[in-house]
Structure 1
Amino acid sequence: MSYHWDFSGVWSRWDLLLAGLINTIKIAGISIVFGVIVGLVLAFLKLSPRRFLSAPATVFIEFYRNTPPIIHFFWFYYALPVLANVSLDPFVAAVLALSTQSGAFYAEVFRGGIISIEKGQWEGARALGMRHSQMMRRIILPQAMARMFAPFVERSFELTKTTALASTLAYADLLYQAMLVNSATFRPLEVYTTIALMYVILLVTASTLARIAEARLTAYR
């Protein structure tokens, strides 16, 4: 049985897919920014010698690392409004889900990078009379950033792919728009092949830019 490929229906609705791609990039970018903030806070809390600070951070991280991402989307969209008596649109709920989930994973990336710095670097900074904030800013973090870069980029790519779950909340991301196009054209093979290629182009482009940035970071170091 031979299949006759026909992309005409997809091409005639390219504006829908382009809008979906833009929405995917938007939600991924915003979630990465907030995820980094959450991750940094969690990483420093978990590194704290004070148990009342490190324990809650550990629980938060382990909860998100051991639960399916789609549960987080449903919780923020359906459960949080019941608990807090608020109304969240799909975009806000998806950003909250992605930011908190990615923050838990970023926290481990950041923590791993920080503790990977040799003990002598810490002792040398203390010997120079640096305060903890100065030591982190001038000595530890610049070295840790180079080691964290690759896993950070990989985690960000995973977040970008996870944005497809926002379609379950009727957020108009690339997958949701593809479903609309498919319902109008009844050409699932062409539609979903097209968006798969769009994801590949997006992430390969981002990967190329990341490699360039990593090379410059390594050269600077």
Structure 2
Amino acid sequence: MNYQWDFSGVFARWDLLLTGLVNTIKIAGISIVLGVLVGLVLAFAKLSPRRYFSLPASIFIEFYRNTPPIIHFFWFFYALPMLANISLDPFTAAVLALSTQSGAFYAEVFRGGIVSIEQGQWEGAKSLGMSHGQMMRRIILPQAMTRMFAPFVERSFELTKTTALASTLAYADLLYQAMIVNSETFRPLEVYTTIALMYVILLVTASTLARIAEARLTAYR
């Protein structure tokens, strides 16, 4: 194979790719924050002894865990506007899809961390006369956070990679911008190799920061 690599076209449209990278980081960051909020609500609802809280939460979680992510993007962008008689731009639809989907997975991460705490810890806190809120805040959650951290980071990385599906809604993320560059340069090997490396750099950097944060969290504990 005598393929001649030529990145000149990619470098000429570097501004488009950088814009796409910024948009990818933006949509991932917002979706992670909203997903954490959704996940916390779902986790505590599923842990509730009241079935009118736990049952809907379980159904929500199982639905999102067992359906392809791209369906959620299409549903929020095409179906929800028809049902609610509203108009959603690609960014809003993608954030709704990502945050609800990630919330379902975060819920299991949070729930798993909480229930992994030994029964003796719960009983010890009760024997000290702590309320449920005090027990969660002072005893359970500080320990659970350490156990949740690694799966939480892994899920966040999966969410970041899933943002590429936003390109199907014509949101100007990194993949969508790469498709524009490719349509102008007709150099798919160079274009898609470049954005693959950009994803690698982004996630390796995030992974390094996550390891530093985990080490500090463990030391603090």
TM-score band, normalised by shorter chain: over 0.9
Offset from partner CA, 1:182-204 (integer Å, 9 cap, x none): 00000000000000000000000
1:148 is aligned with what amino acid? Answer: M
Matched residue, 2:49:
49
Matched residue, 2:203:
203
1:127 and 1:83 map into 2 onto residues whose CA distance is: 51
- Classify the secondary structure of the residue corresponding to 1:172: coil
Give the superposition deviation at 1:167. 0.1
Matched residue, 1:159:
159
The equivalences for 1:45-124 within 5 A come to 45-124=45-124
Give the superposition deviation at 1:217. 0.5
Q: Say whether residues 1:37 and 2:37 are aligned partners.
A: yes
| Alignment: residue pair count | 221
Q: Say whether residues 1:20 and 2:6 are aligned partners.
A: no
Matched residue, 1:215:
215
Give the superposition deviation at 1:46. 0.2
1:186 is aligned with what amino acid? Answer: F
Q: What is the root-mean-square deviation of aligned Cα atoms in Å?
A: 0.3
- Classify the secondary structure of the residue corresponding to 1:171: coil
1:150 and 1:81 map into 2 onto residues whose CA distance is: 37
2:81 is aligned with what amino acid? Answer: P
2:27 and 2:133 map into 1 onto residues whose CA distance is: 32
Matched residue, 1:193:
193
Q: Structure 2 stretches of 5 or more lacking a match?
A: none
Q: Structure 1 stretches of 5 or more lacking a match?
A: none
Matched residue, 1:130:
130
- Classify the secondary structure of the residue corresponding to 1:86: coil
Give the superposition deviation at 1:94. 0.1
When normalised by structure 2's length, the TM-score is 1.00
Give the superposition deviation at 1:171. 0.1
Give the superposition deviation at 1:66. 0.1
The equivalences for 1:140-179 within 5 A come to 140-179=140-179
Offset from partner CA, 1:76-97 (integer Å, 9 cap, x none): 0000000000000000000000
2:93 and 2:134 map into 1 onto residues whose CA distance is: 37
1:126 and 1:41 map into 2 onto residues whose CA distance is: 23
2:210 and 2:177 map into 1 onto residues whose CA distance is: 28
1:120 is aligned with what amino acid? Answer: G
2:96 is aligned with what amino acid? Answer: L
- Classify the secondary structure of the residue corresponding to 1:122: helix
Offset from partner CA, 1:38-93 (integer Å, 9 cap, x none): 00000000000011110000000000000000000000000000000000000000
2:206 and 2:49 map into 1 onto residues whose CA distance is: 37
2:39 and 2:192 map into 1 onto residues whose CA distance is: 33
The runs of 4+ residues in structure 1 deviating greater than 6 Å are none
- Classify the secondary structure of the residue corresponding to 2:99: helix
